[in-house]
Amino acid sequence: MRDRVALPIEDYALIGNTFTAGLVGRNGSIDWLPLPRFDSPACFAALVGEKENGRWLIAPAGAARSIERRYRPDTLILETLFRTDSGEVLLIDFMPVPPPGGSVELVRLIKGVRGSVAMTFELIIRFDYGSVVPWVTRHDHGINAIGGPDAVQIRTPLELKGRDNTTVAEFTVHAGDTVPCSLHWHASHTALPRSTRDPVELSAETESSWRRWAGQEIESGWREPVARSLVVLKALTFSPTGGIVAAPTTSLPEALGGVRNWDYRYCWLRDATFTLYALLITGYRREAKAWREWLLRAIAGDPSQLQIMYGLAGERRLWEYDVPWLTGYGGSRPVRIGNAAHTQRQIDVYGEVMDAFHSARMHGIEADSATWPVQRKLMEFLEDGEWQRPDSGIWEVRGPERRYTHSAVMAWVAADRAIKTVERWGAEGPVERWRALRDSIHAEVCRHGYDPERNTFVQYFGGKEVDAALLLMPQVGFVAPDDPRVAGTVAAIQRELLVDGLVLRYRSSRHIDGLPEGEGAFLACSFWLADNLALLGRHDEATELFERLLSLRNDVGLLSEQYDPVRKRMLGNFPQAFSHVGLINTAHNLSQRRGPAKRRADRGAGQ
């Protein structure tokens, strides 16, 4: 019988170095770690399989009376305190940013706090998503493991033993002791790291680096959750390129035991404007500029080839395949690598791209000479009939293509922002033609995407269902926040998509997306509802919903993609950038008279 070890999603915490990231369970086990990049094969994949697929456990040998976790303030250094009958021990996990040309490193410090605690060390290295058992050899300070293109070196003073393709150790930590352990990845064809920095000194250096970065003043009544969310966004940034991954994991399910399991280790264009706002309103212009530059590089080329997502450096071939040897998180199969949605047509991304560049200009981030020519080419393609084509919509449904209302609204945004660029910055372009296009799109949405009997916009032209993307209509300026149709749409969404006060993306069904029914409430959409309530002047309701969403964070302040309001559990990939971006923006919407939602809405025509 194989040993399934995955914990509830909320029992994990993130560590990372802006190149890759791992998940550490509250039991002291690292169950997920791709090396050397976010999108690389994992060497610890127990999260979506069994422990035989790779993990690194350091924990008391006996039962712990209690376990407490925290991040050091404004850092990604995780501290887990185990209390046992015989004493207390603190496990410190972090990943320092590698120096130029250095290896990717993960450090674990075991510190005795009180008494004496017998400890267990179990290391199972399995390259290529848990499938490759490496060749292990000893060295003076630990072990080397090699398999195909990958190699890791483990350094520790502990006496390590091999047992059934597993590396183990048993030891006791006394008060005042500090036992260091570190993992270094390197390509197997390169030399082993010759030396290593002192792990305790690395802890202090890494803490100082994070605190310098996170020291920006935050103008919000909710500084702690906003600061934690910003650290998450920084951790999910691939620093060599500025691309921000949606999440560091793959195939954490949207419904336990189901098939809605996707690889989120890529960069989505739908996140562009929201992420840009979150960075700019909190003062992180360098990161915002890097994200904008990543965006421009990624989309450069023929506009007909614009994708909804790209790889960390703008890679376009994100082919999806299943990994049959992994049993899935909680039996949720298949486990997918890559994402087939990258081939979908989604008209909304044209609006997201145009709005992101417009937002950058509004905040004083100068565009280079290539930006406007690229935007003009996007507009030429969009107005040449592309905006009228059916697509898969923002939620990437794998069912039939439709004329999604949100997609048409974002085509309107593209035209609107092109017009604003000509009007406000003197760019050259056929502004009268774009004004006519904007008016045509607006009229078509109001004619075919609105149900006058129920006073609500609808998910797709001619349909009756609503979806949460409609909440963005006043935020992008398509309709004014005080338009009666906004209040009607908000009421319809509250009536038809709320579960225990949280918002579903849409009512999933084979009719809509071709997959079995069932998924959790989408947390970003719940933040959007709070934004709309604030725009409607219902500030107390908006604040109450926001506080409810903050209460869903786990003990170290992290949010997943979705939440199961029935089982009271997190669902989906974790931690999710889109959820934390929503938290940042809504906190500012509620703290400032002109937060991101109001500013974005003011840029539209408000017809």
List the beta strands (DSSP E) in 426-549.
450-451, 456-457, 498-499, 502-503, 521-522
Q: Among 168, 190, 212, where does a domain finish?
A: 190
Q: Is residue 203 part of a domain?
A: no
Residues 6+ apart with CB under 8 A from 443: none
Average pLDDT over residues 189-199: 79
* Same domain, yes or no: 432 and 477: yes
Q: Is residue 525 part of a domain?
A: yes
* Same domain, yes or no: 147 and 229: no
CATH number of the domain where residue 298 is located: 1.50.10.10
Average pLDDT over residues 180-184: 96
Residues 6+ apart with CB under 8 A from 454: 488, 492
Residue-wise pLDDT tens digits, 464-511:
999 999 999 999 999 999 999 999 999 999 999 999 999 999 886 545
Residue-wise pLDDT tens digits, 339-356:
999 999 999 999 999 999
What pLDDT score was predicted for residue 497? 96
Residue-wise pLDDT tens digits, 125-151:
999 999 999 999 998 889 999 999 999
* Distance between CA atoms of residues 177 and 529, nearest Å: 50
* Same domain, yes or no: 16 and 139: yes
* Same domain, yes or no: 463 and 374: yes
What pLDDT score was predicted for residue 607? 47
Residues 6+ apart with CB under 8 A from 452: none
pLDDT band at 35 (very low <50, low <70, confident <90, very high): very high
* Same domain, yes or no: 184 and 233: no
Is the model more confident about 271 or about 166? 166
Model confidence at 606: pLDDT above 50: no
* Same domain, yes or no: 252 and 348: yes
Query: Taking phi first (over 0 means left), then psi (-120 to 50 degrees means alpha), and beta for anything else, what does residue 57 get?
Result: beta
Taking all residues of the chain, what is their mean pLDDT, rounded to a whole number?
92
Is the model more confident about 506 or about 601? 506
Q: Is residue 229 part of a domain?
A: yes
What pLDDT score was predicted for residue 605? 46
Q: Is residue 208 part of a domain?
A: no
Q: Which residue from 96, 108, 68 is spatially nearest to 207, judged by alpha carbons?
A: 96
Phi, psi of 279 (to 5 degrees): -75, -45
Q: Is residue 155 part of a domain?
A: yes
Q: Which residue from 46, 47, 22, 170 is spatially nearest to 110, judged by alpha carbons?
A: 170
pLDDT band at 2 (very low <50, low <70, confident <90, very high): very low
Percent of the chain whose pLDDT exceeds 90 = 84
Question: Which of 44-53, 100-109, 447-456 has the least mean pLDDT?
Answer: 100-109
pLDDT band at 568 (very low <50, low <70, confident <90, very high): very high
Model confidence at 457: pLDDT above 80: yes
Q: Which residue from 429, 435, 394, 442 is spatially nearest to 415, judged by alpha carbons?
A: 435
* Distance between CA atoms of residues 121 and 463, nearest Å: 57
* Same domain, yes or no: 175 and 248: no
What pLDDT score was predicted for residue 602? 57
What pLDDT score was predicted for residue 598? 55
What pLDDT score was predicted for residue 512? 59
* Same domain, yes or no: 262 and 125: no
* Same domain, yes or no: 119 and 266: no
* Same domain, yes or no: 430 and 361: yes
Residue-wise pLDDT tens digits, 511-523:
556 566 678 999 9
Average pLDDT over residues 402-428: 96
DSSP 8-class letter at 522: E
* Same domain, yes or no: 144 and 272: no
Q: Is residue 341 part of a domain?
A: yes
* Same domain, yes or no: 230 and 94: no
What pLDDT score was predicted for residue 399? 80
Q: Is residue 197 part of a domain?
A: no
Model confidence at 601: pLDDT above 60: no
Q: Is residue 201 part of a domain?
A: no
* Distance between CA atoms of residues 336 and 264, nearest Å: 10
Residues 6+ apart with CB under 8 A from 185: 35, 36, 43, 103, 104, 105, 150, 151, 152
Tokens representing 448 are 């075919």
Number of domains into which the chain is organized: 2
Whole-number Cα distances in Å, 60 to 12, 44, 177: 18, 20, 15
Instruction: Quote the domain boundaries for residue 552.
Output: 223-602
Is the model more confident about 514 or about 555? 555
Tokens representing 269 are 């264009």
CATH number of the domain where residue 64 is located: 2.70.98.40
